């Protein structure tokens, strides 16, 4: 709830830099997971799981309460708002958005890319070890996940949707190709580069979801529209790990088929992207 409401509110203040704003906020989201992950492990070991939950609940509530005093929607310029309304740039309601074919194409596109990335994201350390790379270097995917959010956000602001979504698609496809080459030739450098591009690709998708939904369907109902678009993370979080688990089990622990599946999913997403025509928030 905090994630959606914060991004929806802050982006309204940076209409011309919504991509970069989203990227920086999502970088904070990612870094929060990294910081809390190691911290929570040590706290649980000392005081137990449920006591840790209670402490986190109170601490996060306090932080959100304090932060809410600073996160405010921008003051609306009534004249500018009237001009936008006269031009028809008032934005889509959730119902209108979901009737648009382009919305569903974009959602399926994000599901495909997120699923492809999740084939390796959750197993990055294990993949690194399997190819003779220290497990700590496997965590480099988390670092580039954060970097990818800012890079893709800034890229969107400058080059808009077509080029930025294609770049993100290429990163995931390149990740699959590098990982596959690394598996075929048992080459650790290819595996490491593949993990880096996996992080960059996975980090770009949520940032682009925020920026694209705002650009395509307008700011008026962005909060609920963005929240609906974010449901694409749910099937991806199920599909990716399920496919990965099945492929690894069938191959006896080898990752070759998993890496090939990344290429297939990214290639299908790239073909689907060709059907995503340019559209802005004008009805």
- 8 Å CB contact between 133 and 141: no
DSSP letter (8 states) at residue 99: T
- With a cut of 80, say whether residue 219 has pLDDT above it: yes
Ordered alpha helix ranges (H), the chain? 2-11, 18-47, 49-68, 78-87, 94-98, 101-121, 124-130, 135-138, 140-185, 188-217, 222-229, 233-250, 256-273
- 8 Å CB contact between 154 and 19: yes
Three-state DSSP state, 73: coil
* Pairwise pLDDT comparison (281 vs 173), residue with the higher score: 173
User: To which residue do tokens 């990965």 refer?
Assistant: 244
- 8 Å CB contact between 104 and 115: no
DSSP letter (8 states) at residue 219: S
Chain mean pLDDT for the chain: 89
Average pLDDT over residues 268-272: 96
Question: What distance in Å separates the CA atoms of residue 177 and residue 260, rounded to the nearest whole number?
Answer: 8
The pLDDT of residue 118 is 94
The pLDDT of residue 84 is 53
The pLDDT of residue 14 is 86
User: Does this model's pTM top 0.95?
Assistant: no
């Amino acid at each position: 709830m905090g994630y959606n409401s914060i991004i929806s509110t802050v982006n309204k203040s940076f209409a011309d830099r919504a991509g970069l704003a989203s990227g920086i906020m999502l970088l904070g989201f990612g870094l929060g997971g990294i910081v809390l992950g190691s911290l929570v492990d040590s706290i649980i070991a000392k005081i137990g799981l449920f006591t840790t939950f209670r402490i986190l609940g109170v601490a996060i509530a306090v932080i959100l309460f304090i932060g809410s005093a600073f996160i405010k929607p921008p003051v609306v310029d009534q004249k500018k708002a009237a001009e936008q309304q006269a031009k028809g740039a008032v934005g889509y309601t959730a119902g209108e958005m979901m009737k648009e074919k382009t919305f569903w194409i974009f959602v399926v596109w994000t599901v495909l890319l997120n699923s492809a990335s999740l084939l390796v994201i959750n197993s990055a350390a294990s993949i690194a070890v399997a190819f003779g790379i220290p497990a700590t270097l496997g965590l480099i995917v988390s670092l580039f996940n954060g970097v990818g959010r800012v890079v893709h956000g800034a890229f969107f602001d400058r080059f808009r949707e077509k080029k930025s979504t294609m770049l993100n698609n290429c990163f995931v496809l390149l990740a699959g190709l590098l990982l596959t080459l690394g598996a075929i030739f048992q080459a650790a450098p290819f595996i490491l580069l593949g993990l880096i591009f996996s992080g960059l690709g996975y980090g770009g998708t949520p940032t682009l979801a925020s920026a694209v939904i705002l650009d395509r369907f307008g700011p008026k109902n962005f909060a609920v529209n963005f929240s609906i678009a974010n449901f694409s993370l749910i099937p991806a979080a199920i599909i990716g790990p399920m496919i990965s688990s099945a492929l690894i089990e069938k191959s006896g622990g080898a990752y070759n088929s998993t890496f090939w599946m990344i290429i297939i999913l990214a290639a299908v997403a790239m073909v689907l992207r060709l059907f995503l025509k340019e559209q802005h928030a004008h009805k």
